Amino acid sequence: QVQLVESGGGLVQAGGSLRLSCAVSGRTFSTYTMGWFKKAPGKEREFVAAISRIGDTYLANSVKDRFTISRDNAKTTVSLHMNSLKPEDTAIYYCAASSLLGLPSQPPTYNYWGQGTQVTVSS
């Protein structure tokens, strides 16, 4: 069983930065594609970023110039570095693990999910 625990969310002013982290249990971390999704009130869960087992990354157009995703296979963690935050980035952010190869962006393609961490960006 894989367990994911997010941390690092909070309240930040527009233009600020946050770093989200996801600690993943299990010895098979390096075999998973890892992703970040967000869910704002009244909206569907939305893809933010993914990183493959070998470190290839894919980010949503809305964040690709502001966010980066990274992973540390030795520490079994994945991080989302968020810069130049905007009020529209406000959401609950979820870490997820997928057994698929490549860089999947659809929620159903992810097998395991964390509980989420709230990010609020004030204007």
Tell me the pLDDT tens digit for each residue of 5-54: 999 999 999 999 999 999 999 778 999 999 999 999 999 999 999 999 99
Cβ atoms of 111 and 93 within 8 Å: the answer is no
Residue 1 confidence class, pLDDT cut points 50, 70, 90: confident
C-alpha dihedral, 11 to 63 to 93 to 45, nearest 10°: 130
What value does the mean pLDDT take over residues 60-68? 97
- pLDDT for res 11: 98
